[in-house]
Amino acid sequence: MTELSVNVNKIALLRNSRGHDAPNVVEFAKKFIEQGVTGITIHPRQDERHITRQDARDLGNLIRPLEGVELNIEGYPSEEFLQLIEEIRPDQTTLVPDAPDQLTSDHGFDFKTKTDYLAPILKRLKTTGTRVAVFLDPDIEQVKLAAQSETDRIELYTEEYARTYNQPNHPEVHARYAQAAIEAQKLGLGVNAGHDLSLENLAKFVTIPGILEVSIGHALIVECLELGLPSVARRYLHICQ
């Protein structure tokens, strides 16, 4: 079984476009949890273009007492971000190599050049009790280097998988993700995945053995607008289970 973590950034983006508190991020998180979703993901950026630091605190307060539901906070490990993690102590922290002005995530960390940079960050995060994942491209060499670090999991960046889903080269791309996931597990790493996964392409992806969690936001929220939140949540949970 693969756990589903719903990224609610787009709910916050819609709220921020009007300058008040509708739609309410916490209330929408509750709706997903009521449908059986076992994870909520947020990515608070420095400019707070969608999720704010207060949203992170409010969601921490919502999820902390709940059994079987996890909060995953992802982001670039700036000092401000690390302090937020130390304050909230989420179930999982996912490190993503985003520049402050970046529209969305578009690559994984490069352990060939960032091992020394990440080492003290990972050590610091582990003292908070959070499980740590690092955003990673489906590259065997990167997986091997990640396994030598203190990260608990990797999150495979699935944009290429989604982009090529209906293309002739998709079997080769899918195989690369499967090889990376299998290698990671052999080396003792848990495997998460996320970015542009959807109702259309998720079922094939989770045939890869051992995918522990998928984090899905943009496509899922769009599908909720088209099909309704309860229907979409049920469909995703059925695929994951």
Q: Which pLDDT tens digit goes with each residue over 189-237?
A: 999 999 999 999 999 999 999 999 999 999 999 999 999 999 999 999 9
Query: Residue 95 and residue 92: Cα distance in Å, rounded?
Result: 10
**pLDDT number for residue 143:** 98
pLDDT interval class at 99 (50, 70, 90): low
Name the CA radius of gyration of the chain, rounded. Answer: 17
- Once rounded to an integer, what is the mean pLDDT over residues 136-162? 97
Look up 43 and say whether it is catalytic: yes
Average pLDDT over the chain, rounded to an integer: 95
- Once rounded to an integer, what is the mean pLDDT over residues 123-146? 97
Return the CATH fold of 3-240. Answer: TIM Barrel (3.20.20)
**pLDDT number for residue 93:** 98
Residue 104 has pLDDT above 70, yes or no: no
Query: Residue 218 and residue 162: Cα distance in Å, rounded?
Result: 13
- Once rounded to an integer, what is the mean pLDDT over residues 139-148? 97
User: Reduced to 3 states, what is the DSSP secondary structure of residue 114?
Assistant: helix
**Residue % of the chain over a pLDDT of 90:** 91
Q: Which residue has the tokens 């289970």?
A: 241
Spell out a b/e string for 163-190, using b for 16 or more CB atoms within 10 Å of the CB, else e. Answer: ebbeeeebeebbebbbebbbbbbeeebb
Residue 107 has pLDDT above 80, yes or no: no
Q: Which of 43, 50, 160, 213 is the catalytic position?
A: 43
Residue 103 has pLDDT above 60, yes or no: no
Q: Which of 3, 50, 74, 155 is the catalytic position?
A: 74
Angle at 72 between CA 117 and CA 235, to 5 degrees: 135
**pLDDT number for residue 16:** 94
| Burial environment of residue 20 by CB neighbours within 10 A (0 to 12, 13 to 18, 19 or more) | exposed
**pLDDT number for residue 18:** 87
- Once rounded to an integer, what is the mean pLDDT over residues 38-43? 98
pTM above the 0.75 mark? yes
User: Reduced to 3 states, what is the DSSP secondary structure of residue 191?
Assistant: strand
**pLDDT number for residue 101:** 58
pLDDT interval class at 56 (50, 70, 90): very high
Residue 116 has pLDDT above 60, yes or no: yes
**pLDDT number for residue 14:** 94
Look up 195 and say whether it is catalytic: yes
Query: Residue 162 and residue 181: Cα distance in Å, rounded?
Result: 16
**pLDDT number for residue 108:** 87
Q: Which of 160, 174, 183, 195 is the catalytic position?
A: 195
Residue 106 has pLDDT above 80, yes or no: no
**pLDDT number for residue 46:** 84
The more confidently predicted of residues 101 and 23 is: 23
**pLDDT number for residue 21:** 87
